[in-house]
Amino acid sequence: MLPAMIIGAGFSGLAAAHALNKAGKKFIVLEARNRVGGRVFTQPVQDTYYLDLGGQWIGPGQHRMYELAREHNLQWFETYNTGKNIIDLNGRIRTYSGLIPKIDPLSLVNIQWVLTRLESMAKRLPPDKPWTTPRAFTYDGISLDYFLRKKCFTRNAYQVLRPGLETVYACNLNELSLLHALFYIQSGNNLNTLLSIENGAQQHRIIGGMQQLAERMAAPFRECIHFNHAVTNIVQDDTGVTVSGNNFSYRASRIIIAIPPVLIRNIHFEPSLPLLRQQLLQKLFMGRVGKVFGIYRTPFWRKYGFSGQVVTDEQQPFQVFFDSSPADGSYGVLLAFCIAVRAQQFFSLSQTERKNMALQHFSRYFGEEALHPEYYTDHCWADEAWSGGCYAAVYPTGTWTSFQDELMKPFGNIHWAGTETSKAWYGYIEGAVRAGERAAAELLSHS
Amino acid sequence: MLPAMIIGAGFSGLAAAHALNKAGKKFIVLEARNRVGGRVFTQPVQDTYYLDLGGQWIGPGQHRMYELAREHNLQWFETYNTGKNIIDLNGRIRTYSGLIPKIDPLSLVNIQWVLTRLESMAKRLPPDKPWTTPRAFTYDGISLDYFLRKKCFTRNAYQVLRPGLETVYACNLNELSLLHALFYIQSGNNLNTLLSIENGAQQHRIIGGMQQLAERMAAPFRECIHFNHAVTNIVQDDTGVTVSGNNFSYRASRIIIAIPPVLIRNIHFEPSLPLLRQQLLQKLFMGRVGKVFGIYRTPFWRKYGFSGQVVTDEQQPFQVFFDSSPADGSYGVLLAFCIAVRAQQFFSLSQTERKNMALQHFSRYFGEEALHPEYYTDHCWADEAWSGGCYAAVYPTGTWTSFQDELMKPFGNIHWAGTETSKAWYGYIEGAVRAGERAAAELLSHS
């Protein structure tokens, strides 16, 4: 009896493996990197510190993540969310409390109205089938940016909404279909959840870093994971699947492919993937995000009453900032998100230039102490060969309506996982886990 | 002294080779297929007939194509364009003469107005730099389809414009950025040119088929072309470039890559391609077009006064028809274009089903004789591994404004050709030739 096989040991592949393992199914996992976790990666720094370079938050509605954390004896803590937030608009820095920045009342009303509109449009999408909504063709013919420009009557409203939404989608807002934007909102419950810390998708972090969950999930079947095994060829025949790469070849009864869509393109399939799937894979692209970190001896901004949160307009190099210090606050971590066009500019600089620019901007908000971190680093996910970008694949206009859920359809003995194949929490670690479990259930139903 | 190298023997690669050959430069050409021509391919049928399965027309403004035809002693002839055209709208078939279909006057005025709008918007784009137009961000945030729906006040106007424009761009109109649509129009002089036979891009065909031009261009250096050489790895170092694939490896001083953007993704580069270029390559997708042919003993529709031209709404399986008979009319060829969503549906059928459906529709317009061809075939370019689709790569929304002309920038000793790297006649054979010649000039300037 041939084993099953999983390609990719990110959260989706691990969740699939976890499920197969529980069901007593024999399997192996092939992973291109030398580690588990995929788009999640916790980097230890100088023996004392750690940084979550990739996915780091969980929040309400992400039931499987909390259950997995519990199951693996991991604890979570509240993202620091106390004190004054900062908004940097038109070169002017203002502080505010809560979710509502201190800008003109007309813009505030406008922002609330736009968010409500997006929310209610998302809510009306037929669950799981965004392409069947009566206005699907119109929504799929414009970008989120166009919608925003039409609905923002003040420049300030647009300038506040834009960095927030760029941070949700990890791309320029004119790159993604409004229909995809709405699907994504529905998939993550609602827009408020996606934008918020409190009661939102950024509410909790895992003590010690998200990577630990991947490691602990992998522990029971670690000997079944083959690292540094980048798959280049997948051949299906009547009795199973042959999966091969540089200097290796394995046979399996059925396989689960749990890697980002853009990397599936690089694999040679026999027989070829269905034509529609090939065409869809041509169109999906990965979000582009960099995370920029300063580690400080203490979270010194807290003592001045700052939350560490900043939102900035496009004159600045980073969209938003968070306090990403560890649970006990024993040291401080400032985290800035650098997304899409800003990432293109920032990551075209040298490491030294980037460090200087980042620290200048950190000190712009938090004073001179910010100029002297214990450690500085930045990480551009678009540059990771085995991710191709982060957080997830994005649907450009005309894609949902043309290809529907082509990405999820099994092909012979191949099942598909990855957060992009989940209709709940698309783009989040939770979506990855759910997709992996769904793919495992599909596979087991054939055993 | 290392030779130069060209990857791809389509028209762009051949034009580059032609130029290097003239300059006395040593070079080799690697081609994945067993033939030259790329997205141009003339298929001989039953010793007597031929069909241009790929690119087949040239027209005014495409100077290099006429010059090349002359240089290689090929003659061209006028596309048949006499008699009544047919429009099939809402299940009703009507005939008309000239460019203007017989529909309600309001729709006719509306159509003319929309075409004039597109034309004048395209004309105002800064030549060669579409992303610098003052309205670039707005144009790049919506699809051509959305623009069309906003500007068409009658259903008929939309239904007539849509298949025509789908035939120009070879994709669903909600898949492409309005900015790209305008760039494409400017690149091909004007919209009237792109849509027309008379004085348009469909005016002339090469007697004996377009493939001959590729063959004759290749003749002087045919021994330098290595067929069935699909490139998988390109490694640059201080002294040149190593290009390899399954069982071969060659060294070159500099190389020209003349293949569609989506296929560049499948090649492994060392050092990696610039990040911006990788990100852009994730986003470009190929048009999806199938050509459907019936060969008849005579072009019998001509005797009933039909031109062979049909435009149909989305209830029918094909967007437009042409008379594609040979110059002397010694036999008849009906050609239907099947594009984007219609191609998805049509090419999901079996060969027999497709033939039956196509002949039913041929006879719908041209009577019972159309049911009995000498030969039937259809060809789906999306299914061609070494093209990935036709006619060309398409820019989705937010791409020109984010990536500008990243596709054309040389990378070390690598120069880029292919119709997608031409700012004149993007998507046409003429663009391929101009890009090849431009890349050859770049390469020679380094010798």
**Spatial distance between the Cα atoms of A128 and A183, rounded to a whole number of angstroms:** 8
Q: Looking at B131, B165, B194, which one is the last position of a domain?
A: B194
- Cβ contacts of A265 on chain B, cutoff 8 Å: 265-266
Nearest-CA distance A372 → chain B (Å): 30
Interface test with A, best of B148, B174, B278 (most A CBs within 10 A): B174
Instruction: Tell me, yes or no, whether B261 and B297 share the same domain.
Output: no
Is there a contact between B282 and A286 if contact means CB atoms under 8 Å apart? yes
> Does a structural domain hold residue A141?
yes
- Residue A336 DSSP SS3: strand
The answer to whether residue B239 neighbours chain A at the CB level (below 8 Å) is no
**Spatial distance between the Cα atoms of B189 and B424, rounded to a whole number of angstroms:** 8
| Nearest one of B119, B90, B121, B120 to B107, comparing CA atoms | B90
CA-to-CA separations, A48 to A55, A77, A78, in angstroms, rounded: 21, 19, 21
CATH number at residue A437: 3.50.50.60
Residues near B289 by beta carbon (within 8 Å), at least 6 away in sequence: B170, B337, B338, B339, B340, B343, B380, B381, B382, B389, B390, B391
> Does a structural domain hold residue A71?
no
Please tell me the predicted confidence (pLDDT) of residue A98.
77
Global pTM reads 0.95
CA angle B13, B16, B19 (to 5 degrees): 150
Is there a contact between B396 and A401 if contact means CB atoms under 8 Å apart? no
Q: Looking at B194, B220, B248, which one is the last position of a domain?
A: B194
Q: Which residue has the tokens 């059925």?
A: A254
Banded model confidence at residue B326, pLDDT cuts 50, 70, 90? very high
- Cβ contacts of B142 on chain A, cutoff 8 Å: 141-143, 146, 397
Is there a contact between A382 and B278 if contact means CB atoms under 8 Å apart? yes
C-alpha dihedral over B424, B426, B429, B430, to 10 degrees?
Answer: 0
Pairing of strands B289-296, B332-339: antiparallel
Helices (H), A80-143: 105-123, 136-139
Please tell me the predicted confidence (pLDDT) of residue B242.
98
> Does a structural domain hold residue A25?
yes
Banded model confidence at residue B288, pLDDT cuts 50, 70, 90? very high
**Spatial distance between the Cα atoms of A26 and B438, rounded to a whole number of angstroms:** 57
- The shortest CB-CB distance from A275 to any of B176, B383, B397 is to B383
Residues B86/B94, Cβ–Cβ less than 8 Å: yes
Is there a contact between A398 and B262 if contact means CB atoms under 8 Å apart? no
Pairing of strands A289-296, A332-339: antiparallel
Determine the distance from the C-alpha atom of residue A161 to the mean position of all C-alpha atoms in its chain, rounded to a whole number.
19
Sequence-distant contacts of B231-238: CB under 8 A, at least 24 apart? B231/B7, B231/B30, B231/B32, B231/B267, B232/B266, B232/B267, B232/B268, B233/B267, B233/B268, B233/B269, B233/B270, B234/B267, B234/B268, B234/B269, B234/B270, B234/B414, B235/B269, B235/B270, B236/B269, B236/B270, B236/B271, B236/B412, B236/B413, B236/B414
Residues A164/A320, Cβ–Cβ less than 8 Å: yes
pLDDT in tens, B345-400: 999 999 999 999 999 999 999 999 999 999 999 999 988 999 999 999 999 999 99
Q: Count the neighbouring beta carbons within 10 Å of the beta carbon of residue B39.
A: 26
Residues A260/A170, Cβ–Cβ less than 8 Å: no
**Spatial distance between the Cα atoms of B203 and B295, rounded to a whole number of angstroms:** 21
pLDDT in tens, B153-168: 999 999 999 999 999 9
Please tell me the predicted confidence (pLDDT) of residue A278.
95
Is there a contact between A397 and B262 if contact means CB atoms under 8 Å apart? no
CATH number at residue B163: 1.10.405.10
Nearest-CA distance B73 → chain A (Å): 39
- Cβ contacts of A171 on chain B, cutoff 8 Å: 398
ipTM for the predicted complex: 0.93
Please tell me the predicted confidence (pLDDT) of residue A100.
77
Please tell me the predicted confidence (pLDDT) of residue B306.
97
Residues near B412 by beta carbon (within 8 Å), at least 6 away in sequence: B236, B241, B271
DSSP state at residue B353: H
Instruction: Tell me, yes or no, whether B364 and B424 share the same domain.
Output: no
Indicate the number of domains in chain A.
3
CATH number at residue B334: 3.90.660.10
**Which residues 158-187 in chain A show a CB within 8 A of chain B?**
171-177
Pairing of strands B332-339, B320-323: antiparallel
Mean pLDDT of B414-418: 98
Is there a contact between A141 and B146 if contact means CB atoms under 8 Å apart? yes
Mean pLDDT of B111-138: 94
Instruction: Tell me, yes or no, whether A295 and A376 share the same domain.
Output: yes
Instruction: Tell me, yes or no, whether B205 and B216 share the same domain.
Output: no
Is there a contact between A141 and B143 if contact means CB atoms under 8 Å apart? yes
Nearest-CA distance A81 → chain B (Å): 34
Q: Count the neighbouring beta carbons within 10 Å of the beta carbon of residue B108.
A: 17
Is there a contact between A141 and B145 if contact means CB atoms under 8 Å apart? yes
Is there a contact between A285 and B279 if contact means CB atoms under 8 Å apart? yes
**Spatial distance between the Cα atoms of B247 and B232, rounded to a whole number of angstroms:** 11
- The shortest CB-CB distance from B398 to any of A175, A279, A283 is to A175
User: Could you tell me which chain A residue has the CA closest to the CA of B172?
Assistant: A398
Interface A-B, measured as beta-carbon pairs within 8 A, has a size of 133
Instruction: Tell me, yes or no, whether A53 and A140 share the same domain.
Output: no
- The shortest CB-CB distance from B142 to any of A146, A262, A286 is to A146
Instruction: Tell me, yes or no, whether B139 and B240 share the same domain.
Output: no
In this structure, chain B runs to a length of 447
Interface test with B, best of A143, A162, A386 (most B CBs within 10 A): A143
Instruction: Tell me, yes or no, whether B236 and B155 share the same domain.
Output: no
Residues A430/A64, Cβ–Cβ less than 8 Å: yes
> Does a structural domain hold residue B395?
no
Is there a contact between A145 and B282 if contact means CB atoms under 8 Å apart? no
Instruction: Tell me, yes or no, whether A379 and A295 share the same domain.
Output: yes
Mean pLDDT of B214-239: 97
In this structure, chain A runs to a length of 447
Is there a contact between B382 and A175 if contact means CB atoms under 8 Å apart? no
Please tell me the predicted confidence (pLDDT) of residue B127.
80
The whole-chain average pLDDT of chain B stands at 96
The three-state DSSP-derived secondary structure of A216-246 is HHHHHHHHHEECCCCEEEEEEECCEEEEEEC
CA-to-CA separations, A358 to A344, A353, A370, B237, in angstroms, rounded: 15, 8, 10, 33
The three-state DSSP-derived secondary structure of B84-128 is EEEEEECCEEEEECCCCCCCCHHHHHHHHHHHHHHHHHHHCCCCC
Please tell me the predicted confidence (pLDDT) of residue B1.
86
User: Could you tell me which chain A residue has the CA closest to the CA of B342?
Assistant: A402
Mean pLDDT of B175-181: 98
C-alpha dihedral over A38, A39, A42, A46, to 10 degrees?
Answer: 100
Pairing of strands B414-416, A393-394: unpaired
- Concatenate the DSSP letters of all residues of B427-447 into one string: TSHHHHHHHHHHHHHHHHHT-
Instruction: Tell me, yes or no, whether A307 and A341 share the same domain.
Output: yes
Is there a contact between A175 and B266 if contact means CB atoms under 8 Å apart? no
> Does a structural domain hold residue A254?
yes
Q: Looking at B366, B383, B400, which one is the last position of a domain?
A: B383
> Does a structural domain hold residue B371?
yes
User: Could you tell me which chain A residue has the CA closest to the CA of B385?
Assistant: A272
Instruction: Tell me, yes or no, whether B242 and B337 share the same domain.
Output: no
- The shortest CB-CB distance from A288 to any of B172, B279, B383 is to B279
Banded model confidence at residue B138, pLDDT cuts 50, 70, 90? very high
Banded model confidence at residue B102, pLDDT cuts 50, 70, 90? confident
Q: Count the neighbouring beta carbons within 10 Å of the beta carbon of residue B422.
A: 25
- Cβ contacts of B286 on chain A, cutoff 8 Å: 279, 282
> Does a structural domain hold residue A390?
no
Please tell me the predicted confidence (pLDDT) of residue A302.
98
Please tell me the predicted confidence (pLDDT) of residue B29.
98
Q: Which helix (H) or strand (E) holds B282?
A: helix B275-283
Please tell me the predicted confidence (pLDDT) of residue B327.
96
Nearest-CA distance A388 → chain B (Å): 8
Tokens of A83: 């004190």
- Cβ contacts of B285 on chain A, cutoff 8 Å: 279, 282-283
Q: Count the neighbouring beta carbons within 10 Å of the beta carbon of residue A412.
A: 16
**Spatial distance between the Cα atoms of B125 and B400, rounded to a whole number of angstroms:** 13
Tokens of B38: 């790329």
Please tell me the predicted confidence (pLDDT) of residue A127.
80
Nearest-CA distance A398 → chain B (Å): 4
Mean pLDDT of B168-173: 97
Nearest-CA distance A236 → chain B (Å): 18
The answer to whether residue A244 neighbours chain B at the CB level (below 8 Å) is no
**Which residues 85-114 in chain B show a CB within 8 A of chain A?**
none
- Concatenate the DSSP letters of all residues of A294-321 into one string: EEESS-GGGGGTEEEEEEE-TTSS-SEE
- The shortest CB-CB distance from B143 to any of A172, A382, A397 is to A397
Nearest-CA distance A427 → chain B (Å): 17
The answer to whether residue B389 neighbours chain A at the CB level (below 8 Å) is yes
B128 or B437, greater pLDDT: B437
pLDDT in tens, B182-202: 999 999 999 999 999 999 999
Interface test with B, best of A175, A284, A395 (most B CBs within 10 A): A175
The answer to whether residue B281 neighbours chain A at the CB level (below 8 Å) is no
Instruction: Tell me, yes or no, whether B205 and B333 share the same domain.
Output: yes
Positions in chain A whose pLDDT score sits under 50: none
Please tell me the predicted confidence (pLDDT) of residue A101.
83
The answer to whether residue A262 neighbours chain B at the CB level (below 8 Å) is yes
Is there a contact between B141 and A283 if contact means CB atoms under 8 Å apart? no
Please tell me the predicted confidence (pLDDT) of residue B133.
95
Nearest-CA distance B285 → chain A (Å): 5
- Residue A426 DSSP SS3: coil
Instruction: Tell me, yes or no, whether B152 and B178 share the same domain.
Output: yes
> Domain range for residue B65?
42-81+201-209+288-383
| Nearest one of B54, B74, B72 to B15, comparing CA atoms | B72
DSSP state at residue B412: T
| Nearest one of B236, B233, B263 to B247, comparing CA atoms | B233
The answer to whether residue B143 neighbours chain A at the CB level (below 8 Å) is yes
> Does a structural domain hold residue A423?
yes
Beta bridge pairs of residue A286: A393
Mean pLDDT of B30-41: 98
- Cβ contacts of A173 on chain B, cutoff 8 Å: 141, 398
